[in-house]
Amino acid sequence: AQSVTQPDIHITVSEGASLELRCNYSYGATPYLFWYVQSPGQGLQLLLKYFSGDTLVQGIKGFEAEFKRSQSSFNLRKPSVHWSDAAEYFCAVAPIKAAGNKLTFGGGTRVLVKP
């Protein structure tokens, strides 16, 4: 069955430290890949997306993600975390020919930032 897995439910990181969030997917072919961020009480905001080409993708707010086909992974990274990065992060995928642009989301990773 097709699925998206975010293995870490919670991550605590110190301000200024690096952050890496994991995402693994299981699909028959490489899908479109996305990372979204949700601040408390807010909707979701797109951080970055991968359709094809360069496997290292730059996004907003200093985030980047690397697509690794051999590992079916699309991990999100940030070199130096700011307190404002405390939020919940969702990986999402869409099969390339998905009817209606439907996204399938992982369960999310909540990031806490220590001062």
Partner 1 sequence: NAGVTQTPKFRVLKTGQSMTLLCAQDMNHEYMYWYRQDPGMGLRLIHYSVGEGTTAKGEVPDGYNVSRLKKQNFLLGLESAAPSQTSVYFCASSYHRERGYGYTFGSGTRLTVV
Q: How far is the CB of 94 from partner 1 (least distance, A)?
A: 7
Comparing CA positions, the residue from 89, 86, 82, 84 lying closest to residue 106 is: 89
Q: Which of 21, 23, 65, 94 binds partner 1 (CB under 8 A)?
A: 94
Count of residues that bind partner 1 according to CB under 8 A: 26
The Cα 109–Cα 70 span in angstroms is 23
The Cα 17–Cα 78 span in angstroms is 9
Q: Which tokens belong to 20?
A: 């890496």
Q: Which of 52, 53, 99, 115 binds partner 1 (CB under 8 A)?
A: 99
Is residue 103 involved in binding partner 1 (CB under 8 A)?
A: yes
Comparing CA positions, the residue from 37, 42, 44 lying closest to residue 81 is: 37
Q: Which stretch binds partner 1 (CB under 8 A): 12-20, 57-65, 74-82, 99-107?
A: 99-107
Dmax over CA atoms of the chain, in Å, equals 44
Write each residue from 4 to 33 as x if it is in contact with partner 1 (CB under 8 A), else as -, in one continuous string: x-x--x----------------------x-
